[in-house]
A and B are shown apart, each in its own frame.
Chain A
Amino acid sequence: MRQLLIVGSMAAVLLLTGCSLGKKNTRPDATAGADQSMGAAAGGVDSDGVSSAGTVGGGEDADGPTGELLSRRIIYFDYDSADIRADSQEIVTAHARYLANNAGTRVRLEGHADERGSREYNIGLGERRAQAVRRVLLLQGVAETQLSTVSYGEERPAVAGSDDDAYAQNRRVEVIYPR
């Protein structure tokens, strides 16, 4: 992940030059709707996710540390859920914006689950999470050819441990920019 910081700061420059400046919206009201719709998106409905997530991106990158957003490469999820949480929308949006502006860049979306329950079902949950992020990126202008997904289920935990804290860190999608 370290080598990605350079990409992140380059992206920050691009974003700062490409976006209007404004006050950071710390109340994620605008994303609450998107969060709900992403729940439905797991079942195939994602049209609401487009506009809500797009709106968030427009306002929030502004005076925020955009490089910091792009250097955040992990999106966390609730138990048995593929809903992109309100607190992660701006991260996904920052990556969408960067990728849409850099059509030659490809990323790999790795979906993961916590260790509870059966392993192949958890592969399904990880895939569902990776697809939820993929859908948002596509809807925000990223090309299909820029994205690949893989689900590791519970097979590659970020941290060891069998407590809620470890589980929360392991339910995730990692956005991997290849070297």
Chain B
Amino acid sequence: MRGAFATRIAYVSVDGRPPNQRYQLIVADSDGENARVILESKQPLMSPAWSADGDWLAYVSFERRVSAIYVQQVRTGQRSMVSSRAGVNGAPSWSPDGKTLAVTLSGKSGNLDIYLLDLANQSLRRVTSDPGIDTEAVFSPDGRELYFTSDRSGNPQIYRLAIGDPDRPKRVTFSGGYNSRARISPDGKQLAMTTLDAGAYRVAIQDLANGTVSILSRGRLDESPSFAPNSAILIYAGRERGQGILASVSVDGATSQRLKADAGEVREPVWGPFLTNGAAAAQD
């Protein structure tokens, strides 16, 4: 089995006090070493997402004072804006083949729904249509399904739909009153999410076969879990003494660890895939 630490993470770092803050998008080794800033902005940067080949990051930037989605090649820094429609442009997530982004758009009406954006021809296909908030879509590893957050039931829960299937999305989470931002393990067996547990926001996983939910973190403001490519470890963001921190935990809950992070507030860690060439792959 290849080691999880022969891989990279991306995350957002923020310094300064509101409202004068500086946002950085950072790529580092998965232990937090060798951090490199790939984008800096005075306006918010959020929601980084790796392409399946690890060459590209999609993210949301407010650099034009409105939200827009960009894709950026990590090695060259080459970037392009792929969605800057009226209203919300958010929550990008790559299809496994790298051709499509699932995105959240609101249009002028302000109703957030999920769309598939074809990166080659910019065509859009709407996949949810509900007056509630539908957002935070992520593809299943086989690319056939989308998991997403919706508050159509009155509070945020995770739903699943089969792409191209006209059936209504099926609710996946039933424990507790707040379950959001699903991520699916690369082996397809587990769903990680942010859950409200006894008044605290924590990282949880749900076994997709039998529905069992396990709470994996102990903070009060833990969020944004992301699976390592070996499906055995999650990285997530939390807060300690007023600072954003990154931590990792094994999916069995047995081991957890704080990651090295420099000064500044860190958030939204996302674990990249195994690299197909270069030094990382050579360490297998």
Q: Footprint of B on A, CB under 8 Å? A: 43-44, 80, 115-121, 123-125, 127-128, 130-131, 134, 149-153, 155-162
Please classify how large the interface on chain B is, using the bins under 10, 10 to 19, 20 to 34, 35 or more.
35 or more
CB contact under 8 A between A121 and B156, given known A44-B131, A155-B44: yes
CB contact under 8 A between A119 and B88, given known A124-B135, A151-B67, A158-B18: no
Is A117 in contact with B131, judged by CB distance below 8 angstroms? no
Is B18 in contact with A127, judged by CB distance below 8 angstroms? no
Is A149 in contact with B46, judged by CB distance below 8 angstroms? no
Is B18 in contact with A117, judged by CB distance below 8 angstroms? no
Which of B225-245 touch A at CB < 8 Å? 239, 242
Is B110 in contact with A156, judged by CB distance below 8 angstroms? no
Is A125 in contact with B133, judged by CB distance below 8 angstroms? yes
Across the interface, A151 reaches (CB within 8 A) one of B19, B47, B88, B194, namely: B88
- Which A residues lie within 8 Å of B151 (CB)? 121, 124
B139 → chain A, closest Cβ, in Å?
16
Q: With A and B bound together, what is the CA distance between A123 and B132 in angstroms?
A: 13
Is B66 in contact with A119, judged by CB distance below 8 angstroms? no
Binary contact track B182-225/A, C-beta < 8 Å → 1, others 0: 00000000000010100001000000000000000000110110
B112 within 8 A of A: yes
Which of B63-95 touch A at CB < 8 Å? 65-67, 87-88, 90-91
Q: With A and B bound together, what is the CA distance between A74 and B62 in angstroms?
A: 21
Q: Footprint of A on B, CB under 8 Å? A: 17-19, 21, 44, 46-47, 62, 65-67, 87-88, 90-91, 104, 106, 109-110, 112, 131-133, 135-136, 149, 151, 155-156, 178, 180-181, 194, 196, 201, 220-221, 223-224, 239, 242, 267-268
- Which B residues lie within 8 Å of A134 (CB)? 110
B15 → chain A, closest Cβ, in Å?
12
- Which B residues lie within 8 Å of A116 (CB)? 201, 221
A142 → chain B, closest Cβ, in Å?
15
Is B180 in contact with A152, judged by CB distance below 8 angstroms? no
Q: With A and B bound together, what is the CA distance between A63 and B180 in angstroms?
A: 47
Across the interface, B112 reaches (CB within 8 A) one of A43, A117, A127, A149, namely: A127
Across the interface, A156 reaches (CB within 8 A) one of B19, B156, B267, namely: B19
Known pairs A127-B87, A150-B66, A159-B18. 18 more at Cβ < 8 A?
A43-B131, A44-B131, A80-B155, A117-B180, A118-B149, A118-B223, A120-B135, A120-B136, A120-B149, A121-B133, A121-B181, A123-B135, A134-B110, A149-B110, A153-B46, A155-B44, A157-B18, A160-B242
Q: With A and B bound together, what is the CA distance between A43 and B111 in angstroms?
A: 9
Pairs A-B, 7 closest by C-beta atoms: A124-B133, A131-B110, A155-B44, A118-B181, A118-B180, A120-B91, A124-B112
Q: With A and B bound together, what is the CA distance between A155 and B41 in angstroms?
A: 13
CB contact under 8 A between A128 and B110, given known A118-B149, A120-B181, A158-B18: yes
Q: With A and B bound together, what is the CA distance between A56 and B149 in angstroms?
A: 37
Is B221 in contact with A162, judged by CB distance below 8 angstroms? yes
- Which A residues lie within 8 Å of B65 (CB)? 150
Residue of A nearest to B91 (CB): A120
- Which B residues lie within 8 Å of A125 (CB)? 133
- Which B residues lie within 8 Å of A119 (CB)? 46-47, 181, 223-224, 267-268
- Which B residues lie within 8 Å of A152 (CB)? 44, 62
A27 → chain B, closest Cβ, in Å?
31
Q: With A and B bound together, what is the CA distance between A152 and B52 in angstroms?
A: 28
A46 → chain B, closest Cβ, in Å?
12
Residue of A nearest to B112 (CB): A124
Residue of A nearest to B14 (CB): A155
Across the interface, A128 reaches (CB within 8 A) one of B21, B67, B133, namely: B133
A117 → chain B, closest Cβ, in Å?
6
Residue of A nearest to B137 (CB): A120
